[in-house]
Amino acid sequence: MDRRSFLKKTGVASLAVVAGGAIPLNSIAEAARSAARPTRREAMLAVVVSRIVPHQRDVLKRETGETAKSLARQIAADEALRASTDRVLGELSKSSKAAYGRGFLDLIPDQQLILMERAQNSVDFQVLVYNVLTDYYKRPTVWKALGYDGPMNDRAHPMGGYLNKGYDKLGW
């Protein structure tokens, strides 16, 4: 696996694949048809993303759904990423059945977290965490909610920056 692909994407990992996923893989067409009704993978992704970035405020919770959708789109277009993500989701499904006799989506949040903590040492899980974080925390809506207004020296603010705007005033 080429681990130096670590930032060569905006949330898209490019990884070698060594095994298939435990969850049936959906085709791109199927993913496209699923706009109205989430596939099992999309439903699981939405839950897993919300556990990886468990912010409580509504605006931040909403964005986890956007990140899940973004990942689903990336997965549809990237076979290696799809296989890697499906290995994580497949492992969570399998361990859920083994530990609780139910599917992962039917568990309460604390049970889901326990299973995710057990899975966190795999490279695939770390890749998923990386992809979720880099997608979620690049969102201007998230920045705003965290109190960060975003770049102040971009096209909207040419020659802007924080000069004369408190860069040197701590206030405490």
Partner 1 sequence: MAKFPLNEPVDVCVIGTGAGGGNVMRELCTAGVKVVALEAGPRFVPYRDFVNDELVMFNRTAWLDPVLPAGPDQTASPIWLAKGVGGTTIHWSAVSLRLQSHEFKARTTYGDIAGTTLVDWPITLEEMLPYYKLAEKYLGVTGRVQPFPIGNTNFLVMKKGADALGLHAHPSYLAINARGAYDKRPMCVQCGFCDTGCSTMAKWSTLYEAIPKAEATGNLDLRPQCMALRITTDAKGQAHSVVYAGPDGKHHEQRARVVVIACNSIQTPRLLLISESAQFPHGLANGSGQVGKNYTRHMSGAVWGLFPKPVEAFKGITFAGIIEDFNVNRPKERGFAAGFHFETIMMGPTRLCTFAQPGSEISTPWARGLWGEAVRELMDNYTHTAGMWIVGEDMPQERNGVTLHSTRKDQYGLPVPVVYFADHENDKKMRQYAWARGREIFQAAGAFKTYESPPWPSAHNMGTCRMGIDPGKSVVNQHGQAHQVKNLFIADGSVFPTSGAENPTLTISALAIRQAHYIVASMKKHEL
State which of residues 45, 52, 80, 88 lies at the interface with partner 1 (CB under 8 A). Answer: 52
For the chain, report the end-to-end CA distance as a whole number of angstroms. Answer: 48
Closest by CA position to 76, among listed 17, 28, 24: 28
Element spanning 70, H or E: helix 58-77
Closest CA to 125 of 31, 5, 41, 13: 13
Taking the least distance from each CB to partner 1, the nearer of 31 and 115 is: 115
Site for partner 1 in 134-153 (CB under 8 A): 134, 136-138, 142-143, 146-148, 151-153
- The 97-126 site mask, x for binding partner 1 (CB under 8 A), equals ----------------x--x---xx-x--x
Residue 146, both tokens: 């965290």
The pattern of x and - marking residues 13 through 32 that bind partner 1 according to CB under 8 A reads x-------------------
- CB of 12 vs partner 1, minimal distance in Å: 11
Cβ(64)–Cβ(136) under 8 Å? yes
Q: Distance (Å, rounded) from C-alpha 6 to C-alpha 113?
A: 25
- Residues making up the chain, counted from first to last: 172
Q: Which of 44, 53, 76, 89: binder of partner 1 (CB under 8 A)?
A: 53
Q: Toward partner 1, which CB reaches closer, 24 or 160?
A: 160
Tokens of 45: 């992704």
In this structure, are residues 53 and 136 in contact, taking their beta carbons and an 8 Å threshold? Answer: yes
| Binders of partner 1 in range 54-83 (CB under 8 A) | 54-55
Contact footprint for partner 1 (CB under 8 A): 2-10, 13, 51-55, 113, 116, 120-121, 123, 126-127, 129-130, 132-134, 136-138, 142-143, 146-148, 151-155, 159-163, 165-172
